[in-house]
Amino acid sequence: MDRCTPGYLILDQIGRDTMTVAIIGRPNVGKSTIFNRIVGRRISIVHPTPGVTRDRVFAYGEWQDKIFGIFDTGGFWPDKKILFKEIEDQIQLAIEESDLILLVIDGKTGVTPLDEDLYRMVKKTGKQMLILVNKVDNPARAVYDLPFKDKSFMVSAVHGHGFYELLDEIARQITEPEEEVKDHLRILILGRPNVGKSTLLNRLTGKKRAVVEPTPGTTRDPLSDFLSFDNKPIEIIDTAGVRRRSKVKGDIEFYSVLRALKMIPTSDLVILLFDAVEGPVKQDLRLAELIFMRGKGIVVVPNKIDLLKQKERENLKKATRRIFSSIPNCPVVEISAKKGTNLDILLKRCFSVYEQGQKMVALEVLKDISTTIPPPPGKNRIHSIKQISAGPPVFEVRSDERLPDNYIKFLKRKLRHYFNFSGQPIIIKERCRT
């Protein structure tokens, strides 16, 4: 089986156009075992007691070099008890958020009225659906007269039977998105809840585009609007607040966070906003690292500086440098979205960071620079460095042997220093002789 990697809320390979799959079914039909089999790791709890999977679980899988997101949901069981009502609501949300539905049926008990209820629930949405008959130990000999016309698969999640065919079908349904043609800079505003993202969108656009409330979680879906700055068009996108996985509560917040993170690959640049009064925290750094992993430029923006005294602003600068020390030359612009302070400076810096990421360094210049860079330790030698693409800048390094990780970091720092790739991730691809 191809590599399948879990990534609950850490969507470093998921984009807005990535197909998402939801696994649904009544309790104890093997949904979590199927989920674990597809992602290649035990993430969901597997237990014969109905209702063990109470929360939706998300991961991503890969098959035939195609990435897809996948949800595991709780077992559907219409009941007046609060727990099962919550699970029913959760399944409905999972169906709405997904492109493909896997309806799991217990092959030992056959189709039940509950299975038919779920089938009708999906059919009402018009979503694509595959029927999985699970717990079939010998799929080649299994014969089932299913009342459903949708494509079906005989599988055994415990033994792995039928999963190559299932994953082939999932991969077949993944279509490559059309290349988007745009003539503007797309800036994403990302940050933890209640740091002022919607206020910044409203101030920049001059409209009350987003609802602003002191309660975290007001913004649920990405909101975008356009403005012009120095006769250059910009699209600004506001997103839901992203907090630590352990603090995400409820399905609505879960899917809001999912949508926010899926917007990163579609942007040209990300404004990472945090509350200057509270100061930066490790979650801000995690978001910054995620943005870099997706190959996007970043501007770190402390908001609400109008609430700080001079000494507090000095402490803020120190804390920001400390938290983001692993993001070299990270551009920082302090603002007050409410007062409109430094917003022109912010937009100028955004354009500057974006343009830095688009430049190509001439091969002759890189040859001259490479002679000044100390070689790696030992007998290993670098033979050439050339830039092969931009947005983000990607360099190919030819050497005798694989370069140590610490030397790769050193090389990135040197390239960033020489060519001022401020706020941009640098990607190095190695070509080794041995």
Q: Which strands make up the sheet holding 66-72, listed edge to edge?
A: 57-63, 66-72, 20-24, 100-106, 128-134, 152-154
Residues 237-289: tens digit of each pLDDT: 888 777 665 555 555 556 667 777 778 888 999 999 999 999 999 989 989 99
Q: Average pLDDT over the chain, rounded to whole?
A: 81
Residues 26-68: tens digit of each pLDDT: 888 999 899 988 987 544 434 343 443 344 577 778 888 888 8
What domains can be seen in the chain, in order of their start residue? 20-172 (3.40.50.300), 185-356 (3.40.50.300), 363-432 (3.30.300.20)
Question: Read out DSSP for 32-82?
Answer: HHHHHHHHTS--S---SSTT---S-EEEEEEETTEEEEEEE-PPP---SSH
Reduce the DSSP state of residue 139 to 3 states and report it.
helix
Average pLDDT of 300-328? 94
Q: Which positions ≥6 away from 196 have C-beta within 8 Å?
A: 273, 275, 303, 304, 337, 338
pTM of structure: 0.66
**Percentage above 90 pLDDT, the chain:** 39
Residues 384-427: tens digit of each pLDDT: 899 999 999 999 999 888 888 899 999 998 898 899 899 999 99
Six token digits for residue 350: 């955004």
